[in-house]
Structure formats: C-alpha cells, structure tokens
A and B are shown apart, each in its own frame.
Chain A
Amino acid sequence: MINRYDNLIIEFFCRIIAAPVFIFGVYIIFHGEASPGGGFQGGVILGAGFIMLAIAHGMDFTLQRIREKMILFLSCIGVFIYGGIGAACILWRGNFLDYGKLPLPLESVSVIRGIGIMGIEIGVGLTVMGVMISIYYDLINPGGIQPELSGEEE
C-alpha cells in the first residue's frame, strides 16, 4: 500500500531545488560566450529540471504547468529564432548568418557579432529543452495495450 508520506521528503526537496536549477540553466545559456556552456548545455539543464519535477511528483503535476502541445511549439519557436536571425542578415545586404551587417547601435562589428551569437544560443536552448521534455513524456505515456497478438494499432 502506498502511504501518503512515502514521497514527502523527495517532493519537498525537489520543489525547493527546482528554482535554482532553472536559474542555473538560463545562466549557462547566457554566459556561453565567456565561460564553458552554450545553447545545448543550457537547454539540457532546463529540460532536466522539468524531468526532475515529473519524476518526483508525477507527470500530471508537470502537465499542469506546461501543456503537451506547447512543448513542441516551444521547439518550433527555437528553430524559427535561429533561422530568423540568419534571414534578417540578408535584409541588410549580408550573407546568410553574417551577423556583422545587422544595424545595432553598438561600438564595433565584433560586439554586434557577439550579440548575434547570444541570440542564436537562445534559439538552440529553447529547442533542446522542448525536445528533451517531449521525448520523456512520450516514453512514459502508458498508451493502449493490445489484448491479442493479431490486433492492429489503435
């Protein structure tokens, strides 16, 4: 019999430690230029924060916070941010993904390239976070169980 207080310590501790984990993930994405990190690493940490909440509390708790359709929608937004920044460079007479031609009011071309790097790391981080949560949700979904061997799917 599952007691109500069996998971109490794990639930309480995961709820406390989830907020620093998300802040740490966002920190790693934004400081990818100056310290070890970047888009992929920060996206995996953000996804792992949601998976930790799902393991401790159950998947319904996490689905109340972020619906399953919105998870893949976040991934699409990430790819569009990346392609959008690349295509915006074409509008100002540069090549695709040539960040030096964007008309930002900063000191020199190299600082504009630095801001371009930060922008695409945000896109990559969003995509990786969405795909991590989506694959976890698909793998633990119980789904339908076929009673006989010759039955078809669904």
Chain B
Amino acid sequence: MEFILSKFNYWIYIIMMMIGFYAMIAKRNLVKKIIGMNIFQTAIILFYVSIGAKKGATIPILEAAHHTVVPPESIEVAKYINPLPHVLMLTAIVVGVSVTGVALALIILIYRRYRTVEEDEILRQLT
C-alpha cells in the first residue's frame, strides 16, 4: 500500500503512457494514431517534471531579487524546486509540436492521394 501511495505520480503517468501506446498501435484511423503519440509524449514530459518536485518548496524564481544582488550563501536550496527538468522538457515540448505538425501535413497529403485516412483501406488500394 505504501508503494502505491508514496510513488503515486509514477503510477498516474504510467497509466497515461499506456493509454497513448494503445492508441498508437491498435486504432485504425491515422489521425487517432497521431493523437495517441501526442498523449504518450505529454505523459513522458509530465513524468520528468514530477521528478523535480520538493515537499514544501515554491516556484523556481528568486524572491525579492529585483535590482538587488542576493549573496549565494543566503539562498536556501530546499526552498526552490529543481529547475533542471523544466529546462530539459521545454526542448521536448518543442520537438513534440514539430513532429505533430509535420505528421498532420503528411496525413493531408495521404488524404489527397487516396481519398481516405483508414489504414486498411489504404493497404487494400496499395495491393
């Protein structure tokens, strides 16, 4: 029971990952597969961001630092959450947007050529 309660964030994101994975491999419509890929990507990004959380800590912006220089020794590290996963996941979000944009453009071209977006009808027209 404690295994579920103390690591519940990983459980939630694994379930979300598996929903996206099932949509990618089991649905027949091409647009639904792309939406499944997007769900998978979002679950991975949230998984990494949840690793950097700290109990009782605030957002990673220094308080009372406008136009003053705060000496490094007086900053309590445990008061601010870890900024590194947020930085790395900004890159991941941008890559996700790019892949979704190009994938939707390819689906439009497939529709113009075959007049359908169902996978089995495209396979039937190819053979």
Contact = CB atoms under 8 A, between A and B. Distances in A.
Interface of A: 34-36, 40, 128, 135, 138-139, 143-146, 149, 153
Contact of A146 (B59, B101, B108, B112): B112
A145 B108 CA distance: 11
A145 B112 contact: yes
Contact of A143 (B61, B104, B112, B115): B112
Contacts, number: 28
B90 A40 contact: yes
B55 interface: no
Say what secondary structure dominates the interface of chain B. helix
Contacts of B114: 149
B125 interface: yes
Contacts of A34: 61, 66
A135 B125 contact: no
Max chain A Cβ within 10 angstroms of own Cβ: one of B59, B109, B113? B113
B61 A35 contact: yes
B5 interface: no
B109 to A, nearest CB: 8
A139 B113 contact: no
Interface of B: 59, 61, 66, 90, 93-94, 101, 104-105, 108-109, 112-115, 125
B46 to A, nearest CB: 17
A63 to B, nearest CB: 19
Contact of B104 (A36, A40, A139, A149): A139
A153 B112 CA distance: 9
A28 to B, nearest CB: 14
Nearest to A134: B101
24 contacts: A34-B61, A34-B66, A35-B61, A36-B59, A36-B61, A40-B93, A40-B94, A128-B94, A135-B101, A135-B105, A138-B105, A139-B101, A139-B104, A139-B105, A139-B108, A143-B112, A146-B112, A149-B113, A149-B114, A149-B115, A149-B125, A153-B109, A153-B112, A153-B113
A123 to B, nearest CB: 14
A151 B21 CA distance: 35
Contacts of A146: 112-113
Nearest to A145: B112
Contacts of A153: 109, 112-113
Contacts of B113: 146, 149, 153
A149 B3 CA distance: 57
Contacts of A143: 112
A153 B101 CA distance: 21
Nearest to A135: B101
